[in-house]
């Protein structure tokens, strides 16, 4: 079992994220600008800008979660003795995810 000093920052960060998410509902404008809505309703694609990135939501979520594992893995490696093995595994996973993301 991990000591309480490890869990307190974790719960503080989670609580801060929850407060931020719930406060964004009150900060966001209730009625968007009519001009901005009409631009997006036109259905026209921007000219001269090639669409190089084609990624679905679940792929984006997968890549984001893989790349956001850095703080978690660093914290785990600082608490354990398997520093080299875990970081090497992480680098391999990031390289594979980056290759998949670039190749589409």
- Domain locations along the chain: 4-40+52-103
Q: What is the mean pLDDT of the chain?
A: 69
Mean pLDDT of 20-34: 70
d(CA 45, CA 48): 9
- Contact assessment for residue 64 and residue 101, using Cβ atoms and an 8 Å cutoff: no
Mean pLDDT of 33-45: 58
Q: 103: which 2 tokens? A: 């190749």
In the prediction, which pLDDT does 21 show?
A: 77
d(CA 36, CA 50): 22
* Residue 81 pLDDT greater than 80, yes or no: no
- Contact assessment for residue 2 and residue 79, using Cβ atoms and an 8 Å cutoff: yes
In the prediction, which pLDDT does 102 show?
A: 66
Q: What is the pTM of this model?
A: 0.32
Mean pLDDT of 97-104: 69
């Amino acid at each position: 079992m991990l000591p309480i000093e490890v869990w307190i920052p974790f719960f503080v960060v989670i609580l801060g994220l929850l407060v931020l998410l719930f406060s964004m509902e009150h900060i966001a404008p209730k009625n968007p600008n009519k001009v901005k809505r009409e631009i997006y309703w036109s259905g026209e694609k921007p000219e001269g800008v090639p669409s190089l990135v084609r990624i679905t939501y679940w792929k984006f979520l997968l890549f984001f979660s893989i790349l956001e594992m850095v703080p978690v893995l660093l914290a785990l490696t600082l608490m354990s003795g398997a520093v080299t093995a875990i970081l090497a595994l992480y680098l391999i996973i990031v390289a594979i995810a980056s290759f998949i993301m670039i190749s589409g």
